[in-house]
Amino acid sequence: MTSAKSARRPHHWRRDLIELAALFTAVAVADAVANLIGHQPDGPYLLVASAVALVATAAFHTWWARRHSHAPPPGEAGEAGAGGNSGAGGIAGAGETVLWRMRTTVRDAPGSLAALCLALSGLRVDILTLQTHPLAQGTVDEFLLRAPASLQAQELSREVATAGGASTWIERADAHDLVDTPTRVLSLATRTALDAAELPLALRQLLGRCTIHSLPAVSVTGRATGESAPVEGVLEETVMRLRDPSGGVISVERPYLPFTPTEFARARALVELDARLGPRVPRSEDVLTLPEGNEITVRRADRGDLAAARAMHDRCSQRTLGLRYHGPVQDADRYLDHLLSPRFGRTLAVQTASGRLVALGHLLWDGDETEVALLVEDDWQRRGIGSELLGRLVALAVEAGCDSVYAVTQSHNTGMVAAMRALELPLDYQIEEGTLVITARVTAAPTAEGTARPSAPTEQARR
C-alpha cells in the first residue's frame, strides 16, 4: 500500500540524470569485461557465473523493496503506537474515558487470555495493567482498564462472560490505581517498617475494600478470648486470619470477592515483616505554647508510656474518667495497655516541660470505622489542649485514608462537643439513652496546621 504522502512526492530531474549515467557506466563496464575475458578459454563460464550473480542480486533487491513498501511512514507509525501498550485496542482520541478495575476467572488453557483481550479490543477498551492469580482450577486475571465513558459495567461484564470469563467483578478505579503492583507493595512495606500502627492500614490498601479486625488474645478485662491462628495463617474464601505478632489474630474479611492464594501470601509477608521489626513508633515532638505561656510537647505514645499514663489516671477526678470511659474503670493498667498498642490505632501524648503526662488522644481502628477519644487531666482542661489533640487526630485519620471519625461521649460533655464543632467539618449526631455519638466526615479535612482550633496552643518548634 502506498501512502498519500508518498503518492504526492515531486519528481526530480537529477534522479533521471543519475540513473542514465549509471546505465552508460554499466554498459561500458560490461563491454570491457567481455573484451577481456572473451578471448580466454574459460571466458564463457565466467560470463554465465556473472549473469547468475546479477540475477540473484536483482531478485534480492526486489524482495527487499516489496517487504519494506508495506511499512508505514515514520509519522504514521508513531501515531499507530499511541493507542496503548496492551494490544487490546487503543482508544486514543476516542473521547471521554473512565478507569475500571476488573477481576475474572478464566480456564488455565492456551488462548483463554487472548480471547478475553480480543473481546476487550472489540469494546475499544485499553488494558493498562494485568495481574494473574493462579488457582488450583483456572486463573484469576485482574485488570486495570481504560474504557469509553459510554460503556456500561453490565455490557462489559456480558462481553467478558461471552469470552470465557466467570465470577467477574467490576468496580470504578481512580488515578491511584495506576501505580503498578510492585511499587505499591514496596510503598506499603516501607510504611509498615516505619510505624507499627500502619499494618492494618497497609493490609486494607493492599487487598482493596475489606474489613480489618485486630482481635486480642486477652481482653481488656483479663479474660482469654480464645483468638489464635497458626503461624502460617488461615485462608477461608472471603476471610483470612493471620497471627498478630503482638498476640491475638488479625482478621481480614471481604464478602464480595474471595481472596486468592497470591493475596494471602502478600498479606502474610507484610505481617511477617512487622513481626521481625518488633515494636516501633516514629519519634517526633512538637513544642507548643499555651495561651497563658506554658510550653507543652505533643508526641506519639506507645506501651512505653504505660506508667506515665497510669499516673495521669490516678490524678484525674472520677467525673473526668466517667466522661471518658462512660463508667468506672476496673483495670486501668490492662485497658491502657490495649489503648497504647499501635496495633489498635495511634495515640498522641501531651507532656509538660517537666516531662509529666497530662493528656492522651487516641485514634482507634474499629473495622471500617475510626474512633477518636480524649482524656485531659483536670488541672489542664479548658486550655485548648483537647482541641489541639483532636485536630491532630483528624489529620492522622485523613493520612490513613479514613472517610469519617466518631466520638462516643455523654450528652452533657460540652467540652467534647465544642472540640468536635471546632473542627468545622460536617457532623452527625446520634443520642441513645444519654450517650452521644458524634460523627465527622473527614474526606476533605485540612491538615493539622490548618484545622480551626479557637484558643489553641501556638507551635514554637518541632524536633
Cell numbers 471500617 correspond to 368
- What's this model's pTM, rounded to 2 decimal places? 0.60
Q: Give the number of other Cβ atoms within 10 Å of residue 405's Cβ.
A: 27
The single-letter DSSP state of residue 97 is E
Type of residue at 182: P
* N-terminal to C-terminal alpha carbon distance within the chain: 70
pLDDT digits (tens, 9 = 90+) for 144-198: 899 999 999 889 989 999 989 888 888 888 777 778 788 888 988 998 888 888 8
CB-CB contact of 199 with 238 (8 Å): no
Provide the pLDDT confidence category of residue 393 given band limits of 50, 70 and 90: very high
Residues 441 and 438: their CA atoms lie apart, in Å, by: 10
Partners of residue 236 on adjacent β-strands: 239
pLDDT digits (tens, 9 = 90+) for 245-301: 777 888 899 877 888 898 999 999 999 998 888 888 877 788 888 888 888 999 999
Q: What is the pLDDT of residue 58?
A: 66
Provide the pLDDT confidence category of residue 90 given band limits of 50, 70 and 90: very low
Q: Which domains does the chain have, with CATH numbers?
A: 90-178 (3.30.70.260), 181-277 (no CATH), 285-462 (3.40.630.30)
Cell numbers 492522622 correspond to 396
Sign of CA dihedral 24, 25, 29, 35: positive
Helix (H, G, I), strand (E, B) or coil at 390: helix
Concatenated DSSP letters of 114-181 = HHHHHHHHHTTPEEEEEEEEE-SSSEEEEEEEEEETT--HHHHHHHHHHTT-EEEEEEE--GGGGS-H
CB-CB contact of 164 with 107 (8 Å): yes
Query: Kind and range of the H or E element at 242?
Result: strand 239-243
Residues 180 and 177: their CA atoms lie apart, in Å, by: 8
The CA-based dihedral angle spanning residues 240, 243, 246, 250, taken in that order and rounded to the nearest 10 degrees: 10
Q: What is the mean pLDDT of the chain?
A: 78
Residues 288 and 62: their CA atoms lie apart, in Å, by: 84
Above 90 in pLDDT, residue 359?
A: yes
Phi, psi of 172 (to 5 degrees): -70, 145
Q: Averaged over 228-243, what is the pLDDT? A: 85
Above 80 in pLDDT, residue 341?
A: yes
Q: Averaged over 391-420, what is the pLDDT? A: 87
Q: Of the candidates 175, 192, 376, which has an alpha carbon nearest to the alpha carbon of residue 276?
A: 192
Q: What is the pLDDT of residue 247?
A: 77
- Three cell numbers, residue 35: 573484451
Above 80 in pLDDT, residue 135?
A: yes
Residues 393 and 455: their CA atoms lie apart, in Å, by: 18
Residues 6+ apart with CB under 8 A from 204: 210, 212, 401
CA gyration radius for the chain?
36
Q: What is the pLDDT of residue 74?
A: 45
Helix (H, G, I), strand (E, B) or coil at 436: strand
Q: Averaged over 60-82, what is the pLDDT? A: 49
